[in-house]
Amino acid sequence: MLDGEEHPNAVLADILVSRKVGPIHGKLVGDLVSVTGQLDMAASKNRRPGVELDTVIAYDEKISPLEEAYRAAWRAVEAAPDKERRAPELQRLTAALTAAVEGMVDFARQQGVTVRLYRFGDSGS
């Protein structure tokens, strides 16, 4: 990003390539990236001249706290000095990523966008 700004998905990339996390975290990151992409594609297809300010505000109010929650959970995982202390932080990360996926899906549906969760790696989903 410009001027040293971190890419919005940098934390998700860090989670995805980390040896500290389990398969569920990779699946949730995949779902989160997928839902975000589906929402972005729908918005670009339906884009009128400019996105309505109310939609941007609603997105920020709903999604920003969810993003901050998984970022904070990831920082706690990274800061944990050993596996024993990391275990509860990994549970917190799972919960935060799950909430982010569910929040993005809910927001998309409120905007009239049908999204599909792929549940990467799950059979029959």
Q: Which of 13, 51, 31 is nearest to 104 (CA)?
A: 31
Residue 42 · residue 107 · CB < 8 Å: no
pLDDT digits (tens, 9 = 90+) for 23-59: 999 999 999 999 998 888 887 776 655 567 787 788 8
DSSP state of 38: H
Q: Alpha-carbon distance 69 to 92, whole Å?
A: 9
Residue 105 · residue 117 · CB < 8 Å: yes
pLDDT digits (tens, 9 = 90+) for 63-98: 999 999 999 999 999 999 999 999 999 999 999 999
pLDDT for the residue 124: 43
What global pTM score does this model have? 0.86
**Residue extents of the structural domains in the chain:** 2-110
* In the predicted structure, residue 2 carries a pLDDT above the cut 70: no
